[in-house]
C-alpha cells in the first residue's frame, strides 16, 4: 500500500484532513492511470466538496480519461465559472479535443492559447498538438508565438516543425502547377 493510500485510509471521515487526503489519493490514482478507482473515490469527494477548485480540475481530468461527454460539459462549465485564468480552461479543452481526435477544434483552441503567455505545461500541449496532427495552422501561430516571446525550439522539435512547413509549401506548389 502506498503512503498516500495509507494516510487516506487511516483518516476518519469526520476529520478536517479527510477531504484533502481523499483529494491527494484521487490525484495519485489518476497519475498512476487507475482511472476507474479514481472515479469511484472521486464520487465520494464530490459529496464532500463538489465546488472546490481541485475537485473541479480532477473531475475534468477524469471525464476526459473516461470519455464521459456529460461530465466534460459539466466540469467545463464549472471551470469556466470558477477559473480566473482562461488559459487553464483552454488547456483542458485542448486535452479533451485531443482525446476525441477533433482536429479543427484542436487547431482553434491551440491558436487561442498561443495568443496568450503560456506556462510550460500549456506550451508543451500545444506543441504536441502541432507535431502529432502535422497542423500547419498551429505551426503558423506557434512560429509567431516563438518570435514574439523570443523562444527557440530544441533541434529535434525544430526539425519536425520545419517538416510541417515544408510539407505545406509542397502542397501549395502542387496546387498551382
Mean pLDDT by 10 residues, the chain (177 residues): 83 89 92 93 91 91 92 90 84 91 91 89 87 87 90 86 86 80
pLDDT for res 4: 85
Residue appearing with cell numbers 508565438: 145
pLDDT for res 117: 87
pLDDT for res 162: 87
pLDDT for res 42: 93
What would be the CATH architecture of the domain defined by 1-83?
Alpha Horseshoe (1.25)
- Every domain range in the chain assigned CATH 1.25.40: 1-83
CA angle 98, 102, 108 (to 5 degrees): 90
Q: What is the 8-class DSSP label of residue 87?
A: H
> Do 92 and 79 meet the contact criterion of CB atoms below 8 Å apart?
yes
> Do 113 and 142 meet the contact criterion of CB atoms below 8 Å apart?
no
Amino acid at each position: 500500500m502506498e503512503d498516500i493510500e495509507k494516510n487516506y485510509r487511516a483518516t476518519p471521515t469526520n476529520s478536517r484532513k479527510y477531504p484533502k487526503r481523499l483529494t491527494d489519493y484521487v490525484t495519485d490514482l489518476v497519475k498512476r492511470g487507475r482511472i476507474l478507482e479514481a472515479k469511484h473515490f472521486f464520487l465520494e469527494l464530490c459529496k464532500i466538496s463538489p465546488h472546490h477548485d481541485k475537485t473541479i480540475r480532477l473531475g475534468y481530468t477524469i471525464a476526459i480519461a473516461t470519455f464521459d461527454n456529460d461530465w466534460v460539459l459539466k466540469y467545463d462549465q464549472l471551470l469556466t465559472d470558477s477559473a480566473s485564468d482562461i488559459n487553464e480552461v483552454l488547456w483542458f479543452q485542448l486535452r479533451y479535443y485531443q482525446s476525441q481526435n477533433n482536429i479543427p477544434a484542436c487547431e482553434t483552441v491551440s491558436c487561442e492559447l498561443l495568443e496568450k503567455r503560456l506556462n510550460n505545461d500549456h506550451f508543451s500541449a500545444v506543441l504536441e498538438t502541432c507535431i502529432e496532427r502535422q497542423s500547419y495552422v498551429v505551426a503558423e501561430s506557434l512560429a509567431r508565438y516563438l518570435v514574439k516571446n523570443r523562444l527557440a525550439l530544441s533541434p529535434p522539435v525544430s526539425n519536425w516543425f520545419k517538416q510541417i512547413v515544408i510539407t505545406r509549401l509542397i502542397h501549395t506548389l502542387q496546387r498551382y502547377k
